[in-house]
Every structure is written in C-alpha cells, then in structure tokens.
Amino acid sequence: MDKFVVKGPAKLTGSIRTDGSKNAALPIMAGALLVAKGETVIKNVPPLRDINTFIKVLEFLGAKISYDPGKAVVTIDAGQLTSNTAPYELMRQMRASFLVLGPVLARMGEAKVSLPGGCSLGSRPVDFHIKAFAAMKAKIEEKSGYIIARGKPLHGDIIYFDRPSHTGTENLLYGAVFAKGKTTIINAACDPEVIDVAHYLNEAGAKIHGAGTPTITVEPVGKLNAIEYTVSGDRLVAGTYLIGAAMTSGDVEVSGIEPEQLTMVLRKLEEMGAKVNSTKKKIRVQGPKRLGPINLTTFPFPGFPTDLQACMMAAACTATGTSHIKETVFVDRFSHTMELRRLGADIQVASSEAVVNGIEGLQGAEVMAPDIRAGAGITLACLSARGKSEILRVYHIDRGYHQLEEKLASLGADISRQPM
Ligand code: EPU
C-alpha cells in the first residue's frame, strides 16, 4: 500500500494532457462483448486499476484480451464466450462490472451477474437496470447475491428511467442492439461518456439515435462488427487539474478534452473568480489570489458533475465567504468532509447539503482517500494546505487517476508516492 506525501502550499502551473476517459473506456470494453467475430481495438484506454479489474471480468467470461498500458490500447476478441457469470470476487471490486449484464444477456440469452461493489456512495441500487431488462421481457431472478437474467431475444419497448442513470443507459443500449423491435429510452443519461458509447456502437454497426439527449432510440441490427475506436478524453481528470489551478492561484492548460463537457464546472470556477479560456480541445484556468465562495448543486449532465463535487468543496474551504454545496446525485457523497476537517476546514453537513465557511488557509495533516473522487479532492486540499500532509489509501485514487502524483508534480507540486 502506498501513500502520497505532499508539502504545500503548491501553485499549479503548466500544461498537461488528460488521459482517456475511464467511464467511457469501461462501457466500450463491455460493448465489445457484443462482437461475435474479430478483434475490437480500443485506443486511449487509461492505465488504471479499474481497467485491469474489468479486463479480469471480461477474461472470466471467455473474452481474449491483450492490453498494452504503455500504448493505452486494449484488444478484445469476444468470439467464444465460455461463461455467462460475472463472479462476486471481481464484481465487489468495481461497480461498473455490472455493465456486462446487458452484453452477456444479449449474446448468450442468460447472464448471472453478482450484485456490484465498488465505491461506497450510499446504497447505489441497480433496480433501473433490472426493471428495464424485465420490461424487455427478460426473466429476472435474484438469488444468493446474484442477478440472473434470461431471455433471447429481448423485446424492444419504451423504457422509462425514474431519473437518468449513466451505466443504466449504457447497459440498456447493449440489450437493445439485438432486441426484437425498436427500443426507446426516456429520461436517458446525457453524459458525454454515453455519447461515446453510442458512437462506438454505431461505428460497429448499431443504429442508435439521440445519444446526448434524454430520448434515445435503438433500431435493432443483426450483428456488430469488430472495429478500431478511440476513447474520448477524461473530463473528470481534466476538471480536477483545472480546479487545482483555480484554488492554488495557479495557471494550467489542459488539452485532449472537449470544453463543452466541462461547461458547468468552468462557469462555476468563473463565478469564484478564476479566469477561463477555452479553445478547441484545450482549456486554460488561471486562479486569482483567493477564490470567492460558490453555490452549487450537483445534477446529471449537463448539470454540475457529482464526481467533481469533492474537488470544488476543497476549493471552497479556502475561498472567501460561505459556500453552499448540495448533492442530488448521490445524496450522501460527503465522505471527504471528515478528511477536509482534519486539514482545518470549517464544513457543516446537514442532509444532502454542505455549508463551507472559507478560512484563510488549511494546515497539512494525515488524511485518507475514501473513494476515487473524494481522494482527488483531498489531494487538492493538501496541495493548497501549508505544511506536510500524508494521504493514505491512495489505491482508491489509482482506480480513476493514472499517476496523479506525477502529473501534479509535473505542474510544480511537491508531492510523491511512498510505500507505507
Ligand atoms: N440509481 C438508482 N437505481 C439504479 C441506478 C441508479 O436508484 O438502478 C440512482 C443512483 O443511486 C444515483 C443516481 O441514480 O442516485 C445516478 O446513478 P447512476 O446510475 O447515473 O450512476 P452509475 O452509472 O452507477 C456512473 C459513474 C460514476 C458517477 C455516476 C454519476 C461509471 C462507471 N460510473 O455511475 O462514476 O459518479 O455515474 O455521474 O460510469 C467514478 O468514476 O468515480 C464514479 C463513481
């Protein structure tokens, strides 16, 4: 187990390229299970713990995978799926593994998938996925911690999500591609990663319309083809560096990202007093001497992303005045507040809302990363804090950020990874 050792305060300055998006790469890899012949080549796959875990899930199902992390390329041959089961041992490590339910059901007519684990962001049910497949006439059974879904072909229908679900929408796209009849998803997630998945499936031969809007339609096709596809840049990683620049009076330019994917985040940074300049695929943020306070509410895309809430809270800790941060996607996603308080932050949480009274400066301390995004927020807070901090449990951060400490060091931070 490793820890990060940080000596602050830092002033992040320089240019950096964001890696490929984890939350697009994972579902695209799951989508490759629908391809019965040939090798799918996926490029710009970030070298992360979650990618390695997901490769193990796909291999357990019988897919042949080769992965070159240096080149960020994954090759998947799903010609012979030998198992329809995604076991607990792998699923408990990462909730996104539930994404294999749709492809395995569509390919094999039966899927047995353990109920997921991963980041503990409250209860995180999978009822939308299950109800949607039941509406497509799959028979669903829940037994000993597993969901068993049977049905081939699935039947297209109009599926209503109670609220937009990111992986729920992606799972359903896979179920719908080979279904009998057209599927319409109402209240679909509009996230850029969902658009990326739909682009990939369409390039492979699917007929999906409306991705990026709340209504998606899927016309069934007979097969998908093996293709080469490049995953988009990671908006959440990019957003992390940009928030870091804003809160350390820094000046950072991030490339490899579509600025529209971060519109809400950039607006909020501007409201706090940062200067933002975007061009095609590049965003530059310059932080003021001290940020002002912020009111923000997380919301499904295009709203403010829940995944960057912890980073914004870290920024609010040392802003002038009082900030209000309301979480509406995962209502109890506030595990970072305890750690931020250890650095001296003044934060009160009541129900799903945090009130942050900005203080002049944080003080370094021993803290830990409770999950991927909370870990990133805490790391930024340690950068801005005066003195030495140690961040434990960085394996959570490694699930979603490739060598975060090296990237931050390249921007001028005094941060290193050390074995415990
Ligand atoms: N929900 C249900 N029932 C369901 C599915 C979702 O009630 O069957 C609720 C959730 O509890 C939550 C809301 O709907 O309150 C939205 O959840 P969603 O399904 O959109 O989340 P997810 O698909 O499980 C993905 C990302 C998360 C990210 C969320 C929100 C991946 C692999 N995961 O999760 O990313 O926070 O969308 O944008 O794409 C991360 O990368 O660190 C991460 C946690």
Q: How many CB atoms lie within 10 A of CB 350?
A: 7
Percent of the chain scoring above 70 in pLDDT: 98
CA of 119 to the centre of ligand 1 (A): 10
Among 165, 172, 396, 401, which residue has the most ligand 1 atoms within 8 Å of its CB, making it the best to mutate? 165
Beta-strand relationship, 39-43 and 64-68: unpaired
Mean pLDDT of 325-348: 96
Mean pLDDT of 398-418: 97
pLDDT-based confidence at 123, cuts 50/70/90?
low
**CA-to-CA distance for 98 and 216, rounded, in angstroms?**
21
Q: How much is the pLDDT for 93?
A: 85
- pLDDT tens per residue, range 316-334: 999 999 999 999 999 889 9
What CATH class is the domain 2-19+233-419?
alpha beta
Q: How much is the pLDDT for 332?
A: 85
Structural contact between residues 336 and 382, judged by C-beta atoms closer than 8 angstroms? no
pLDDT-based confidence at 94, cuts 50/70/90?
confident
Atom of ligand 1 nearest to the CA of 119: 44
Q: How many CB atoms lie within 10 A of CB 82?
A: 9
CATH of domain 22-223: 3.65.10.10
Among 167, 194, 352, which residue has the most ligand 1 atoms within 8 Å of its CB, making it the best to mutate? 167
Q: How much is the pLDDT for 407?
A: 98
Percent of the chain scoring above 90 in pLDDT: 92
What amino acid is encoded at 3 in this protein?
Answer: K
Beta-strand relationship, 158-160 and 251-255: unpaired
Q: Could you tell me the pTM of the whole model?
A: 0.97
Cα dihedral 58, 59, 60, 62 sign? positive
| DSSP state string for 220-242 | --S-----EEEPPB-HHHHHHHH
Tokens of 181: 């009849």
pLDDT-based confidence at 117, cuts 50/70/90?
low
Q: Coil, strand or helix: which one is 289?
A: coil
Cα dihedral 58, 64, 67, 72 sign? negative
pLDDT-based confidence at 50, cuts 50/70/90?
very high
- What is the pLDDT of the chain when averaged over all its residues? 96
CA of 306 to the centre of ligand 1 (A): 9
**CA-to-CA distance for 207 and 221, rounded, in angstroms?**
7
**CA-to-CA distance for 166 and 172, rounded, in angstroms?**
10
Give Dmax over CA atoms of the chain in angstroms: 62
CA of 304 to the centre of ligand 1 (A): 14
Crossing angle of helices 101-108 and 22-31, rounded to 10°:
10
10 Å CB burial of residue 275 (0-12, 13-18, 19+) is middle
Structural contact between residues 290 and 315, judged by C-beta atoms closer than 8 angstroms? no
- pLDDT tens per residue, range 289-301: 999 999 999 999 9
- pLDDT tens per residue, range 261-284: 999 999 999 999 999 999 988 999
- pLDDT tens per residue, range 211-251: 999 999 999 999 999 999 999 999 999 999 999 999 999 99
Q: Is the pLDDT of residue 124 over 80?
A: no
pLDDT-based confidence at 115, cuts 50/70/90?
confident
Shared fold status for 2-19+233-419 and 22-223: yes
Structural contact between residues 265 and 196, judged by C-beta atoms closer than 8 angstroms? no
Give the residues across from 404 on adjacent strands. none
Mean pLDDT of 45-66: 96
Which residue in 300, 220, 233, 162 sits closest to 19, CA to CA? 233
Mean pLDDT of 397-410: 97
Q: Coil, strand or helix: which one is 369?
A: coil
Among 29, 93, 113, 124, which residue has the most ligand 1 atoms within 8 Å of its CB, making it the best to mutate? 124
CA of 291 to the centre of ligand 1 (A): 30
Please give the angle made by the CA atoms of 50, 86 and 134, to the nearest 5 degrees. 110
What amino acid is encoded at 201 in this protein?
Answer: L
Ligand 1 residue neighbourhood (C-beta within 6 Å): 23, 26, 95-96, 119, 124-129, 163, 165-168, 189, 306-307, 329-330, 372-373, 400
Q: Is the pLDDT of residue 120 over 60?
A: no
Q: Is the pLDDT of residue 396 over 80?
A: yes
Atom of ligand 1 nearest to the CA of 191: 38
Structural contact between residues 146 and 104, judged by C-beta atoms closer than 8 angstroms? no
Q: Is 119 a catalytic residue?
A: yes
**CA-to-CA distance for 228 and 211, rounded, in angstroms?**
20
Q: Coil, strand or helix: which one is 186?
A: strand
Structural contact between residues 248 and 9, judged by C-beta atoms closer than 8 angstroms? yes
The shares of helix, strand and coil residues in the chain, as percent rounded to the nearest 5, are 35, 30, 35
Q: Is the pLDDT of residue 118 over 80?
A: no
Boundaries of every domain in the chain: 2-19+233-419, 22-223
CA of 188 to the centre of ligand 1 (A): 12
- pLDDT tens per residue, range 160-212: 999 999 999 999 999 999 999 999 999 999 999 999 999 999 999 999 999 99
